Chain A
């Protein structure tokens, strides 16, 4: 219910403000809710405020988990194993 996106801090500004960049789009947002943020950090941005820092190591680990889950250990399912939409219903 809360549209929020990871964005990279590219510039710290006066007060609690900073500029972030996401896919080539820049926006000025507030760091009032996050301590010790630095240029280069990724933060989750919602309604013009950073909610928290994003941990790059955890992100990498999560992606690794996805990849690992996809490996079929015992070749249990025949072929692709992916349920075809029609067959599954």
Chain B
């Protein structure tokens, strides 16, 4: 802690207090919020210094820097398996990880709505801190603003991350070639349906838990198992689901894809909840899944490496890239027929027909 302690009349009332406009005004109230809430939770030397920015060491020899950013506006703020805080850490960590980088540092900026309960904010910040520790990243700098009541959804969090990309690693959406194998680290649709389950107008009850998780450990396990050049594409399918991610890759790489529906893992409850609402799991959001496109010779090793990791126990080989000038993503259905999986047209809404 800095030698000159700010003299606060009382500590923050984390139980019953609420965010006031003063907390964003740059004065003593904001300093108190930073010290007693953020710096306490994230607990590192950068924040303890209390400067406007964080001085970071240069990357190692041969390494390049990777930067990524993500804004988080999820509602509800708290859900089974996570909250907006852990989500904001995992989201940016994963963006860096799928670039092949080792995530190192995060900046976190908060837009808080006047009236937001401090107890909820403390819970969110503690969750972020825990997620950051588990992922091996530090929250080194940040910002706080407060908006008037009614102009924000409680809290919006933007995280920006920096990672180090070791030499030789170059995964990218445009790298897939016909014949490359498509693998998935586990079951799809958990996050989106966990969120849906809390929507009052839908009111179903199922133990579906968000899969929000940091993927950097899983990615490192892959690079330890196969030559870097064999890993053509890494992506984490988030909003828009697996279907959107695969269509993006198909378009970027100029390939088509053929998938086996029966091979795509979906938890039984997610499957049932989707059926009930008329949703397709392929388009439902995930927050802790990895899509890998790899050279065919190394597919078995990639699958083994995924399955050996706690986040990849349900990993599966789901298909392959093909030569297709139209870049269609096709699926061989459980019935034996074929369908295509198109880009999502707008948000997927529950249907009755």
Contact = CB atoms under 8 A, between A and B. Distances in A.
Please determine if A and B sit in direct contact within the complex, based on CB atoms under 8 angstroms apart: yes
26 contacts: A2-B352, A3-B351, A3-B353, A5-B275, A23-B268, A23-B271, A23-B272, A23-B273, A23-B275, A24-B268, A24-B272, A25-B205, A25-B206, A25-B269, A25-B272, A25-B273, A25-B276, A26-B204, A26-B205, A26-B206, A27-B204, A27-B205, A27-B276, A45-B276, A46-B352, A47-B352
Interface residues of B, number: 17
A1 interface: yes
Interface in A23-70: 23-28, 45-47
A3 B352 CA distance: 5
Nearest to B205: A26
Contacts of A46: 352
Interface of A: 1-3, 5, 22-28, 45-47, 85
A27 B203 contact: yes
Contacts, number: 42
Interface of B: 203-207, 268-269, 271-273, 275-276, 278, 338, 351-353
Contacts of B272: 22-25
Contacts of B204: 25-27
Contact of A24 (B206, B278, B352): B206
A79 to B, nearest CB: 16
A37 B203 CA distance: 22
Nearest to B336: A82
